[in-house]
Amino acid sequence: MTRLEAILEQMQQPETTLADSVKLYAEAASLMDYCNGTLEKTTLQLDEIDAQRAPRPDAAH
């Protein structure tokens, strides 16, 4: 996240060239893909934990 914020700040600078902006954009896109993949993996792990904790219909009260 820190790097994405730094990229955004760099891209907003008037002295950042178009070529540099394109490179920064590519880096940001790669970082976002990584973050999205990590988020999806973590969501699946949490879903598995929740499924294990869910009461079973055949469980005695």
SS3 state at 14: coil
Specify whether the CB–CB gap between 27 and 7 falls below 8 A.
yes
Largest CA-CA distance found in the chain, in angstroms, rounded: 69
For 21-35, the pLDDT digits (tens) are 999 999 999 999 999
Q: Residue 57's pLDDT is what?
A: 74
Specify whether the CB–CB gap between 31 and 18 falls below 8 A.
no
- For residue 58, name the pLDDT band (cuts at 50, 70, 90): confident
Query: Tokens 């902006």 label which residue?
Result: 21
Residue 56 pLDDT > 80: no
Specify whether the CB–CB gap between 7 and 28 falls below 8 A.
yes
Mean pLDDT of 2-14: 97
CA angle 20, 21, 24 (to 5 degrees): 85
Break the chain into its structural domains and give their ranges: 2-51
